[in-house]
Amino acid sequence: MPFWINLIVGFLSLIVAALFGVILIPYLKKLKAGSHILDIGPAWHKSKEGTPLMGGFMFILSVPVSLWVGYLIIKAYRSAHMIEAPENSGWKLIAAIGVAMLFMLVGFCDDYIKVVKKRNKGFSIVGKTACQIIIIVAYLAALWALGYDTVVEFPLIGDVDFGWLYYPVMGLAIYVLVNAVNFTDGVDGLLGSVTVVYSVAFTLIFVLLNDWEMSALSMAVAGGCMGFLVWNLHPAKVFMGDTGSMFLGGCVVAMGIASGLELLLPLAGLIYVVEFFSDIIQIFSIRVLHKKVFRMAPIHHHFELCGWSEYKILWVFSGVTLICGILGIVAVWLYRQSL
């Protein structure tokens, strides 16, 4: 399958997301859907007060639109060259987009409460967690119905059959990673940039695995995030809000699980994991040891308070993701060579 299909999908997603911003941002301003900055954050973040939330709708629109175009091109190419499509390839895409959209709805409720109800803490932790658990159970049930194997392929190590333990382990992993992606959104352009690198890495991984439908999804996410960054790089004209970050969390998880190489999730997504556990460590340390490990958590705020600019944080965190992504690609290539 020619790689130019992925390039078309990525470019289309970028253009749709960037152009949608021309319409969306003035509309959000008209709705007065501005963010309220908490006093506990870095003092200079107060200048961002009122920046519109829910800009994530840019890539929430662009990803399914460009993916549908890519899917039709892939289908036409296979038909023209008499190539048989993998079993359940279309349903895998539906499951991936479906779980991302469901998580997006949870994020939208959070943003709606913040913007319309003027309750800055948003959705209650109990309510948000309950909704996430329901979505995770539904997603895992869909994977089971699609015949997903409980055998996890570990590059350079071998295959491990988790049996019934696969579902609770993956359920916990999904919960952590979706929220980890959400935690990463705190500096202009950070989550979008890290996710671009993560998604491009998985595009190449799916190419190596000959899974062209999922490679198109990964490229659509990468393109959509790049289009969003047109408006979100420092100084940000719009924030993605939980609406966008939860959608991206669903996409990040779906990519890793669909690859069948679930170990790549914490590897390529190392920054997400570090962001999440920096917050957990900080909370534990304050409550139990009565002292801080970091100046502020998640860890990108620690580096801010250490004097790093928002651009430096963006480039360093994206660079770490690039290195981890390359390691993942190499591991998959070596694994495929050994088969």
- Spatial distance between the Cα atoms of 164 and 275, rounded to a whole number of angstroms: 29
List, as own/partner pairs, every contact residues 281-287 make where C-beta atoms lie below 8 angstroms and the sequence separation is at least 24, other chains included.
none
- Spatial distance between the Cα atoms of 107 and 98, rounded to a whole number of angstroms: 14
- What distance, in Å, lies between the first and last C-alpha atoms of the chain? 21
Q: 182 labelled as ligand-binding? A: yes
- Spatial distance between the Cα atoms of 279 and 298, rounded to a whole number of angstroms: 5
CA angle 100/105/106 to nearest 5° reads 100
The residue written with tokens 């919960």 in the block is 175
Q: Is 230 exposed, middle or buried (0-12, 13-18, 19+ CB in 10 A)?
A: middle
Three-class DSSP category at 320: helix
Q: 242 labelled as ligand-binding? A: yes
Of the candidates 144, 205, 189, the one whose C-alpha atom is nearest the C-alpha of residue 334 is 205
Binding residues are 182, 242
Binding residues for Mg(2+) are 182, 242
